[in-house]
Chain A
């Protein structure tokens, strides 16, 4: 079930209506759990069983870790949890990729017949929910979290429909307390029921509307330009490659942050606060800043559960660079079983490493006053985004000849200007939307609480931006709801 479908809207309305009727918290949780499983079943069919296996495994292992007396036993149990989760993820997501690499190597050393592919269906959301359950057991192991006392509660944390398929990756220590005690900032008294509060409803609807706007108005309508150029970029000029690369950067941001907004808004209507996943990433001043703004739930997960255990920046500078590189290598691979994503991750690993190296070796650079000025910040943003967008090329193009051509044209500009006007005229709608996106992105950067401000408008004014957004969405909808890009991960 896609978020951008009439079925989902009906599903959400039914859920809210039934939750409003149920007056017992436990029944509300059971209903929400069943609804979440139904949502997952409609997207993934029998692969729901994997979600259940992961849930049961981590629920009991988490408890065992907490009550174990010895460090050795805790470690063993943690290992079982990691092996179970990463085993499922590895098997379903990377088995064919590993077989392919093995066969290529086997062919190289003249081994006989290759191993046949397993052709397994990729369970939707597996990359996200395995990371959620891993964080649960690791937090218990670290003594930062008490295990959940009820399988129902834990299962709801793992399967909560709004963020199940493509995040944001929620931590148990953020979510479980919300299941136990629900309250609104406006209330003095605590309420243990899931209630649809008017403040949450209005803000949730506003966030969802912006999410749909980013996905269906911007991302889906810019996509034709990207598809057209990147389907076969060979022969395209540097200008065309640049435009297509920027277009893809906007498309993937609109697509993924739009999805996150819908997930966050949906959860908020039901009274759950899910952390922000994006914070104007294209205004990042450095690669580190970019990763504080892009897919925040993943980057913070990688930091807390991978980078820091590897040693983080506590050891030598060279070890820090290696750690960054390793984390981004696997961060890239997490996105998909393909070398393209690895290249994307490796590029970001290099950016982070080089940025750290420059900061460590030439500390005076960070003290140059120019970089604190408006012009200096603009230059920092442009340099950072040049490299961020360069890395989007391998993320999008999977054919290696096409990829190398597009990257060359992006880096070594050919200054061919013959067809610029024709190109812009040919793609005037996507190009106009790109310009509009940049303007709106800038406005939301300057006024970071724009959505909150709109949500706080009196109803008679609130419905005006809402109507404009909805009208633009329906008028530019081409009749085919398109998958969210991150559904594939």
Chain B
């Protein structure tokens, strides 16, 4: 290649770097989801009917794919006083959930279900709650399209415009909002089922290995359980489902470690644990390797969650 080509490519490289830094700047100052935003959600200041018995579901995006309206309908048929609220949000971790707990428990839930998976105990800090470092940014852009999806530069840009123009009405269009999932909105791709073939070809972000000797997330989960138990609120843990292509990438050692963590929690606090991890691994219900699609053909996930809730209410 001649010198002129190198100069052209250098100019292109500089343009790319500037464009990337503008993205980095926007994402850094206007992250698409913030802890503060969730904390300020109107759900926490809502007036509830005093006769209403609230069932809360905690977890991250995997738990967010539960059709909470459908689950609520099923529960209401047998127990008209009960209402289901799915309080999952993208990127949730035991540590950040713990920060919201006092506020959440002030709403006096009747029972809490907490969905966890490998990612909750891996050595990662959710980007939404920590500084958005350049290293993470490069990692996201180069390695993981699902993470890139959750970053959503457009959302951050709109948020920046919103703050600069004091325009409160700007928002991302075309997202699905469920009335009883106040902390989560779903994008259109979340509703589409991906074929097994495409799942196998997908880029999979495998969380770093689980450390069981010193695991901050486990500690926070235990703290949360203790806090909940102290309020005499029953808590049930369930593991969220994963696709076969995801599970194939998890090492046996991590599978054992997760089992060990959950067994320990179960015996220490005497709480039931439901395992959904492998239940639908080979079914055509996946939006991506670690998320069930929010789709009527994936309703089996929500049906099983409803069965679990009914069983626990009955007991």
B214: interface (CB < 8 Å): no
Q: List 16 A-B contacts (CB under 8 A).
A: A196-B5, A198-B2, A198-B8, A201-B8, A205-B8, A428-B169, A428-B170, A459-B11, A463-B15, A466-B12, A467-B14, A471-B18, A477-B154, A478-B152, A478-B153, A480-B149
Interface residues of A in 446-476 (CB under 8 A from B): 459, 462-463, 466-467, 470-471, 473-476
Chain B contacts for A221, CB-based, 8 A: 154
B148 CB-CB contact with A under 8 Å: yes
Closest residue of A by beta carbon distance from B9? A201
User: Do the beta carbons of B18 and A198 come within 8 Å of each other?
Assistant: no
**B19 adjacent to A473 (CB under 8 Å):** yes
Interface membership of B227, Cβ < 8 A? no
A479 in contact with B149 (CB, 8 Å) = yes
A224–B12 CB distance below 8 A: no
Known: A202-B8, A459-B11, A466-B12. A475 touches B23 (CB 8 A): yes
Q: Whole-angstrom distance between the alpha carbons of A421 and B1 in the complex?
A: 56
Q: Bound complex: CA of A476 vs CA of B159, how far in Å?
A: 11
CB of A189 within 8 Å of the partner chain: no
B198 CB to closest chain A CB, in angstroms? Answer: 10
> Contacts of A198 on B, CB cut-off 8 Å?
2, 4-5, 8
Contact check, B19 vs A471: say whether CB atoms are below 8 A apart.
yes
List residues of chain A with CB within 8 A of the CB of B148. 479
Could you tell me if A224 and B11 are in contact, using CB atoms closer than 8 angstroms? Answer: no
B155 contacts A478, C-beta separation under 8 Å? yes
Highest count of chain A CB atoms <10 Å: which of B9, B20, B170: B9
Give the complex CA separation of A114 and B95 in angstroms: 59
Q: Binary interface profile of A, 24-48, with partner B (CB < 8 Å = 1, else 0)?
A: 0000000000000000000001000
Whether the pair A225, B173 counts as a contact (CB closer than 8 A) is yes
Closest A residue by C-beta to B158: A429
Number of interface residues of A (CB under 8 A): 34
- Contact B5 A478, beta carbon cutoff 8 Å: no
Q: Tell me what chain B mostly uses at the interface: helix, strand, loop, or mixed.
A: helix
Chain A nearest CB, measured from B47 CB (Å): 28
A426 at the B interface (CB under 8 A):
yes
The answer to whether B8 touches A467 (Cβ under 8 A) is no
Question: B7 at interface (Cβ–Cβ under 8 A)?
Answer: yes
Closest residue of chain A to B13, judged by CB? A463
User: Which of B15, B149, B155 makes the CB contact (< 8 A) with A466?
Assistant: B15
Contact between chains at B154 and A475 (CB < 8 Å): yes
Q: Is B157 part of the binding interface, using a Cβ–Cβ cutoff of 8 Å?
A: yes
Contacting pair A474 B19 (CB below 8 A): yes
Report whether B189 and A480 are in contact in the complex, using a CB–CB cutoff of 8 Å. Answer: yes
A20 at the interface (CB under 8 A from B): yes
Q: State which of B7, B11, B169, B189 has its C-beta within 8 Å of the C-beta of A425.
A: B169
In the complex, A228 Cα to B174 Cα: how many Å? 7
- Asked if A471 and B12 sit within 8 Å, CB to CB, the answer is no
**Which residue of the partner chain, among A425, A426, A467, contacts B15 with CB atoms under 8 Å?**
A467
CA of A20 to CA of B26, assembled, Å? 37
CB of B151 closer than 8 Å to a CB of A: yes
Task: Decide if A227 is an interface residue (CB 8 Å cutoff).
Answer: yes
Q: Can you name 17 extra interface pairs (CB under 8 A) apart from A225-B173, A474-B23?
A: A196-B5, A198-B2, A198-B5, A198-B8, A228-B174, A427-B173, A459-B11, A462-B11, A463-B12, A470-B18, A470-B19, A471-B19, A474-B19, A475-B23, A475-B153, A478-B153, A479-B153
Number of B residues contacting the other chain (C-beta, 8 Å)?
40
Distance between Cα atoms of A450 and B201 in the complex (Å): 40
Q: Taking the nearest CB of chain A, how far is it from the CB of B278, in angstroms?
A: 28
A467 touches B155 (CB 8 A): no
Q: Is the CB of A227 within 8 A of B174?
A: yes
Assess whether A6 is interfacial by the CB under 8 Å rule: yes
A225–B174 Cα gap in the complex (Å)? Answer: 8
Query: Which among B5, B19, B141, B172 is the interface contact of A201 at CB below 8 angstroms?
Result: B5
Given A228-B174, A425-B169, A427-B173, the answer on whether A478 and B11 have CB atoms closer than 8 Å is no
Complex Cα–Cα for A429 and B19 (A)? 21
Residues of chain B within 8 A (CB-CB) of A205 are 8, 12
In this assembly, does B16 line the interface, its C-beta being within 8 Å of a C-beta of chain A? yes
| A467 and B150 contact, CB distance less than 8 A | no
Q: How far is the CA of A425 from the CA of B188 in the complex (A)?
A: 22
Kindly provide the distance from the CB of B294 to the nearest chain A CB, expressed in whole angstroms. 15
Q: How many whole Å from B2's CB to the nearest CB in chain A?
A: 6
Q: Is the CB of A6 within 8 A of B11?
A: no
- Chain B contacts for A463, CB-based, 8 A: 11-12, 14-15
Decide: B8 and A224 in contact? CB cutoff 8 A.
no
**In the complex, what residues of B have CB within 8 A of residue A474's CB?**
19-20, 22-23, 153
Q: Which residues does chain B contribute within 8 Å of A470, judged by CB atoms?
A: 15-16, 18-19
Tell me, yes or no, whether B187 is within 8 Å of chain A by CB. yes
| Interchain CA distance A400-B210 in the complex, whole Å | 54
Most buried by A among B9, B11, B170, B172: B11
Which residues from 125 to 171 on chain B have a C-beta closer than 8 Å to any C-beta of chain A? 141-142, 145, 148-155, 157-158, 169-170
3 closest pairs, A vs B, by CB? A224-B173, A198-B4, A470-B19
CB pair A20–B1 under 8 Å, yes or no, is yes
Determine if B106 is an interface residue (Cβ-Cβ < 8 Å).
no
A32 to B59, CA, bound (A): 48
Q: How far is the CB of A408 from chain B (nearest CB, A)?
A: 26
A418 to B4, CA, bound (A): 59
Is B8 within 8 A of A459, CB to CB? yes
Of chain A, the residue at the smallest CB distance from B10 is: A459
**A471 engages B22 (CB within 8 Å):** yes
Taking the closest CB of chain B, its distance from the CB of A479, in whole angstroms, is: 4
Contact call B11/A466, Cβ cutoff below 8 A: yes
Min CB–CB distance B148 → chain A (angstroms): 5
A426 CA / B157 CA spacing, docked (Å): 17
Q: Give Cα A287 to B235, complex, Å.
A: 68
What chain A residues lie within 8 Å of B11 (beta carbons)? Answer: 459, 462-463, 466
